[in-house]
A = this chain, B = another copy of it.
Amino acid sequence: MDSTVRIGREKLEQFCTNVFLQLGLPEQEAIDSSKILVAADARGIGSHGVGRLWRYANGIRKGIMLGTATPQILRDTPISLVLDAQGAMGMGISKKTMEQVISRAKTIGASFASIRNSNHFGIAGFYTELAAHEDMIGICMTNTAALGVPTFGRTAMFGTNPIAISVPATKGRMFTLDMATTCVTRGKVEVYAREGKRLPQGWAVDTTGKGTADATRLLDDMLYQRGGGMLPLGGEGELLGGHKGYGLAVLVDILTAVTSGGDFGKSVMDSEATSARVCHFFGAIKLEVFRDPQEFKKDMGRLLDELVATEVADGCDRVYYAGLKEHEAEAESNRSGVPLTEKVVESLRKIAQESGVSFIL
């Protein structure tokens, strides 16, 4: 295992901003993109954090992701907005769009948006929490490159397709569910492959559509598109509900890509030359359309209190609610610095050298 160091949050944000500025991003987009990447690391979701900075740097240098693309407006109504990102980086346009959704919801009570032709946007829960801070229910989804196999199938037809929802409670607390609709992501399989461990039953199937424990072979089959892939939440077949996770993954394709006229299913593909053009969905509903927001948040607080007070299973420590672990990790990051593995720090040092940005970490 990599050892971990902690780096001050603002310093890390400033470094990423400097890199993005040097790559030609407009100032606000550079700042927003950095904040979103660092938020992932701060919450303990390193898979979506600054460890991806080199991908963005490469993407921008190769012209796969565009720092300065002007989005095309496809539909614009008091309750909705549909955009073509024209290949923009995902973070800046997503934050702006969620801010638009929140602003429209303030007037009309609820609002929705979708974006096509975009790129990876970091953690979905970042956008939903923007809404929750405004006393709204925030919703966000994105499709991703196909790697998930439908129930009873043997080839990849959808991505990890995460769903995020945030709902605010009293005392600044928040319920934030941010979950891939596949059982696990490819990143977890890569860890198992590196450590030579067998995959748990229910994570993935091989090229015949049967459950596999062979991480290395699975990654190879996925890379060369020979078939096989990750299973939806609920695992193989219907016995443990795999058809439900499959349905949720398809729902994400519908709300992100069918609403925006973008790519869905197996046509969302990474290749050596390009990264997949993905679609996003954003929504916000004011608490006030249902109840007095203070009463609403009081009941939310009571619900969260009751959940953490659940009697604990033998051998376990605590019962959580969605988002609690991440919020505790973030509080610790704000006190003690954002945790990064040595390997990620090394990649940042390399980016600094390549782009002529001073390595201030």
Q: Check: A64 CB closer than 8 A to any chain B CB.
A: no
Report whether B239 and A75 are in contact in the complex, using a CB–CB cutoff of 8 Å. Answer: no
Q: Render A140-160 as a binary contact track against B, CB cut-off 8 A, 1 for contact.
A: 000000000111111101000
Q: How far is the CA of A296 from the CA of B80 in the complex (A)?
A: 15
Q: Check: A264 CB closer than 8 A to any chain B CB.
A: yes
Report whether A234 and B82 are in contact in the complex, using a CB–CB cutoff of 8 Å. Answer: no
Report whether B154 and A313 are in contact in the complex, using a CB–CB cutoff of 8 Å. Answer: yes
Q: How far is the CA of A209 from the CA of B233 in the complex (A)?
A: 21
Report whether A251 and B153 are in contact in the complex, using a CB–CB cutoff of 8 Å. Answer: no
* Candidate in A241, A265, A316 with the most chain B CB atoms within 10 angstroms: A241
Q: How far is the CA of A209 from the CA of B266 in the complex (A)?
A: 40
Q: Check: A320 CB closer than 8 A to any chain B CB.
A: yes
Report whether B184 and A258 are in contact in the complex, using a CB–CB cutoff of 8 Å. Answer: no
Report whether A183 and B241 are in contact in the complex, using a CB–CB cutoff of 8 Å. Answer: yes
Report whether A233 and B241 are in contact in the complex, using a CB–CB cutoff of 8 Å. Answer: yes
Report whether B303 and A205 are in contact in the complex, using a CB–CB cutoff of 8 Å. Answer: no
Closest to A262 in B: B299
Q: Render A208-238 as a binary contact track against B, CB cut-off 8 A, 1 for contact.
A: 1110000000000000000100000111000
Task: Scan residues 232-274 of chain A and give those whose CB is less than 8 A from a CB of chain B.
Answer: 233-235, 239-241, 243-248, 250-251, 253-255, 257-261, 264-266
Stretch from A283-291, A330-338, A346-354 at the B interface: A283-291
CB of A184, distance to nearest CB on chain B (Å): 7
Q: Render A59-102 as a binary contact track against B, CB cut-off 8 A, 1 for contact.
A: 00000000000000011011110100000000000000000000
Chain multiplicity (copies): 2
Stretch from A3-11, A27-35, A40-48, A304-312 at the B interface: A304-312
Chain B residues contacting A300 (CB-CB under 8 Å) are: 254, 258
Q: From known contacts A78-B109, A254-B175, infer whether A313 and B183 are also in contact, taking CB-CB under 8 Å.
A: no
CB of A320, distance to nearest CB on chain B (Å): 7
Other-chain residue from B82, B296, B316 in contact with A258 (beta carbon distance below 8 A):
B296
Q: From known contacts A112-B289, A152-B313, infer whether A303 and B240 are also in contact, taking CB-CB under 8 Å.
A: no
* Candidate in A244, A246, A290 with the most chain B CB atoms within 10 angstroms: A290
Q: Can you give 16 contacting A-B residue pairs, CB < 8 Å?
A: A74-B291, A110-B112, A137-B255, A154-B314, A175-B251, A177-B247, A183-B234, A205-B313, A208-B313, A233-B245, A234-B234, A234-B241, A241-B245, A243-B320, A254-B303, A264-B303
